[in-house]
Amino acid sequence: MRIDFRSRVVGAALIALALIVSACGDDDGSGGDTKEGPTITVGSTNFGEQLILGEIYAQVLAANGYTVETQFNLGSREVVYPALTSGEIDLLAEYTGSLLTFKGGTPSTDSDQTAADMQAAIAGDGLTALAYSPAQDKNGIVVTAETAASLGLTMVSDLAAHAGELTFGGPPECPERPLCLLGLQDVYGLDFAGFIPLDVGGPLTVAALEGGEIDVALLFTSDGVIAAKGFVLLEDDMNLQPAENVVPVLRNEMVEAYGSELTDLLDAVSAKITTAELSELNKRYGIDAVDADVLAREWLEANGF
């Protein structure tokens, strides 16, 4: 599980507003006939990446003849997961490690094992996790392109020869967190020259890295700023971070109603989403201010859906 520094909780008023204004999917201008069966309501939590993923899954379903509604910006997992189990929503883009942790399990660095354990944990709630995506949103170690080129860095382990000359920046809690500085020391043997407490992969960290105040930073792997600034995400080659693959979770009622035609379609979409593409989509949403529905439509078209 990534260090869940980000707060994804919104107030009750925002949740209520999201429920009121949730819109029916209107991207059903496909060549296929409308399918007989229940409406599929696609939900999301309350940050940009979730809106983009929700739009991708909702639009591809609508384009293939399914009747779709959306309930976006519902709040944190503590709000959205009960909405899923109760049938208020039917489909949600989740993250394997975080959902497994939410259900009381312990994710590993093995994506297959984490996904299998997660499925076992949610099976009793009437839910099915479909095939997970290559895309992951987890803690990542990032340097500037200049630093990567000058020191020959492509993997986190490459930092071992240089850490004593480099300054690391991240959340204030980082020195005590096993997935942050503690793990980098224990797993990779990295002893940095210094640590500067900043924010949770936010603007302070980005500005410090870009301005040379720090040399190495902790960001989230799908953060749009990585694409926007041309930063280099180093490969976690010794597998410190647990798996956090994007995965659609679907109510069993929908699986039973539509069968493999539905699940195969969603699996095909998930298979095309990479971490780098998700970072670029997040960059275009958060920095370039392109609407999530536009980004989803363009991505689906570009990938043959």
201 — alpha (psi -120 to 50), left (phi > 0) or beta?
Answer: left
Residue 80 lies in a domain: yes
Global pTM? 0.81
Considering the domain architecture, whether residues 66 and 88 belong to the same structural domain is answered as yes
Considering the domain architecture, whether residues 111 and 151 belong to the same structural domain is answered as no
| Residue 167's CATH number | 3.40.190.120
Establish how many alpha carbons lie within 13 A of residue 130's alpha carbon, considering only the half-sphere containing its beta carbon.
Answer: 30
Considering the domain architecture, whether residues 22 and 159 belong to the same structural domain is answered as no
Considering the domain architecture, whether residues 123 and 69 belong to the same structural domain is answered as yes
Full DSSP string of 160-211: GGTGGG-EEEE-TTGGG-TTTHHHHHHHH----SEEEE--SSSHHHHHHHHH
pLDDT tens per residue, the chain (305 residues)?
455 444 333 333 333 434 333 444 444 444 458 999 999 999 999 889 999 999 999 999 999 999 999 999 998 899 999 999 999 999 999 999 999 999 999 999 999 999 999 999 999 999 999 999 999 999 999 999 999 999 999 999 999 999 999 999 999 989 988 889 999 999 999 999 999 999 888 889 999 999 999 999 999 999 999 999 999 999 999 999 999 999 999 999 999 999 999 999 999 999 999 999 999 999 999 899 999 999 999 999 999 99
Which of 162, 189, 167, 186 minimizes the C-alpha distance to 176?
Answer: 186
Residue 4 lies in a domain: no
Considering the domain architecture, whether residues 65 and 164 belong to the same structural domain is answered as no
Considering the domain architecture, whether residues 145 and 129 belong to the same structural domain is answered as no
| Residue 79's CATH number | 3.40.190.10
Contacts of 148 (CB under 8 A, 6+ apart): 154, 232, 234
Residue 6 lies in a domain: no
Pairwise CA distance, residues 296 & 275, whole Å:
15
Q: What is the pLDDT of residue 201?
A: 80
- The last residue of a domain, from among 233, 259, 291: 233
3-class state of residue 232 by DSSP: strand
Q: Give Cα 215 distance to the centre of its chain.
A: 25
- The last residue of a domain, from among 204, 233, 262: 233
Residue 201 lies in a domain: yes
Q: Which domain holds residue 49?
A: 12-136+242-302
Considering the domain architecture, whether residues 120 and 27 belong to the same structural domain is answered as yes
Q: What is the pLDDT of residue 39?
A: 98
The CA-to-CA distance between both ends of the chain, in Å, stands at 31
- The last residue of a domain, from among 212, 233, 254: 233
Q: Give Cα 118 distance to the centre of its chain.
A: 16
Considering the domain architecture, whether residues 282 and 263 belong to the same structural domain is answered as yes
Considering the domain architecture, whether residues 52 and 126 belong to the same structural domain is answered as yes
Considering the domain architecture, whether residues 114 and 250 belong to the same structural domain is answered as yes
Q: What is the pLDDT of residue 249?
A: 98
Residue 7 lies in a domain: no
Quote the number of domains for the chain. Answer: 2
